């Protein structure tokens, strides 16, 4: 027991760094989990702790082996930090979901990457910089999320009917008249039954267009099914 307490006392600085990394990583993780993201509280804590632990381990070994400028053995924390940041890139890539119509998870991937950077900074003992960086990250995730930025929107319009494709040409002409750009299309028609299934990926600049287009198509009795996503 005395040996354990002595070890903790001798490594108090490094243990403090790990605790700080846990707290700062947890703050970012709480924001991600509050938004229902898969990489939430525990993931961000583990990333920040792991990054800090690697830097702490390198620094501790350098001190124990007294590796100065004249030492033959080189243990450069900068190389360890570069390895951590590169490795976290693969973890962040796993949170990105890309489909034909949208890309999701970029913010979560970026937050995981910057949490690893926070861990590296804490591992180096730069607490002030780490805290300031954490505050800036939380501002970017919390505050900027509520800014009224109206960007372009993309959605998929699904149409089903029985007949020929002349109706499709009529719909596309109407959409162009309302300045809705068709980015992509998928058309399926069964020759035996005449059943048509069309998916149009639309790009619109004004949000008020969506209900107008949808209501008009819903009111058209020639369509058996109208939906979008």
Q: Domain of 109?
A: 2-146
Beta pairing class for 195-204 and 103-104: unpaired
Taking residues 66-86, what's their average pLDDT?
Answer: 67
Whether residues 14 and 32 share a domain: the answer is yes
Is there a single domain that holds both residue 30 and residue 138?
Answer: yes
> Residue 160: pLDDT above 60?
yes
Is 78 found in the same domain as 13? yes
Strand-strand pairing, 97-98 and 103-104: antiparallel
Contact 115, 44 (CB under 8 A): yes
pLDDT of 24: 92
- 15 burial (CB, 10 Å; 0-12 / 13-18 / 19+) is middle
> 116 with 169, same domain?
no
pLDDT at residue 207 above 60? no
Residues 120 and 36 in one domain: yes
Instruction: Return d(Cα 221, Cα 227) in angstroms, integer.
Output: 14
The residues facing 104 across adjacent strands are: 97
Would you state the pLDDT for residue 90?
76
Which carries the bigger pLDDT value, residue 51 or residue 67?
A: 51
Buried-exposed string 72-106: b where 16+ CB fall within 10 A, e elsewhere: eeeeebeebbeebbeebeebbeebeeeeeeeeebe
Higher pLDDT, 170 or 11: 170
Task: Looking at the structure, tell me whether residues 21 and 73 fall in a common domain.
Answer: yes
pLDDT at 38: 72
Domain of 208, CATH number, reads 3.30.70.260
- pLDDT averaged over the chain? 80
Structure tokens, 189: 């028609």
Q: Which of 79, 114, 146 is the last residue of a domain?
A: 146
Per-residue pLDDT reduced to its tens digit, 9-33? 667 788 888 999 999 999 988 888 8
Residues in CB range of 215: below 8 A, 6 or more apart: none
Give yes or no for residue 55 having a pLDDT over 70. Answer: yes
Q: 225: which 2 tokens?
A: 């099914």
Q: Indicate if the pLDDT at residue 1 is higher than 70.
A: no
Reported as a pLDDT band with limits 50, 70 and 90, residue 70 is: low
What are 87-145's pLDDT values in tens digits?
877 777 777 766 655 667 788 888 888 898 899 899 888 889 999 999 999 988 888 77
Question: Is residue 78 over pLDDT 60?
Answer: yes
User: From residue 224, how far is each of 167, 215, 216 by CA, in Å?
Assistant: 13, 14, 14
pLDDT given at position 118: 92
Instruction: Decide which of 112, 127, 146 is a domain's last residue.
Output: 146
Rounded to 5°, the CA angle 103-160-228 comes to: 30
Quote the longest CA-to-CA distance of the chain.
86
Q: Do 51 and 158 belong together in one domain?
A: no
Residues 105 and 33 in one domain: yes
d(CA 123, CA 116): 10
- Helix, coil or strand: residue 22: helix
Asked whether residue 8 carries a pLDDT value surpassing 70, the answer given is: no
- The count of structural domains within the chain is 2
Q: What are the two backbone dihedrals, phi and then psi, of residue 136, each rounded to the nearest 5 degrees? A: -65, -40
Q: Say yes or no: 9 and 63 in one domain.
A: yes
Question: Same structural domain for residues 180 and 72?
Answer: no
What is the predicted pLDDT for the residue at 69? 54
């Amino acid at each position: 027991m005395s040996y354990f307490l002595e070890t903790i006392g001798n490594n108090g600085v490094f243990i403090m760094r790990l605790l700080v990394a846990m707290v700062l990583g947890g703050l970012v993780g709480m924001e991600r989990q509050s938004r229902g993201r898969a990489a939430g509280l525990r993931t961000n804590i583990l990333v920040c702790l792991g990054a800090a632990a690697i830097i702490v381990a390198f620094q501790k070994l350098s001190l124990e082996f007294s590796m100065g400028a004249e030492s033959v053995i080189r243990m450069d924390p900068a190389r360890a930090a570069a390895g951590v940041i590169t490795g976290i890139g693969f973890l962040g890539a796993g949170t990105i979901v890309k489909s034909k119509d949208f890309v999701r998870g970029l913010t979560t991937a970026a937050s995981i990457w910057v949490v690893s950077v926070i861990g590296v900074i804490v591992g180096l003992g730069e607490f002030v910089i780490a805290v300031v960086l954490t505050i800036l990250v939380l501002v970017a995730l919390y505050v900027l999320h509520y800014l009224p930025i109206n960007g372009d929107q993309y959605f998929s319009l699904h149409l089903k009917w029985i007949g020929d494709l002349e109706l499709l040409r009529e719909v596309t002409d109407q959409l162009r008249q309302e300045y809705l750009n068709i980015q992509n299309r998928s058309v399926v028609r069964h020759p035996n039954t005449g059943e048509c299934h069309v998916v149009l990926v639309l790009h619109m600049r004004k949000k008020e267009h969506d209900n107008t287009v949808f209501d008009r198509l819903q009111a058209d009795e020639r369509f058996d099914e109208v939906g979008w996503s």
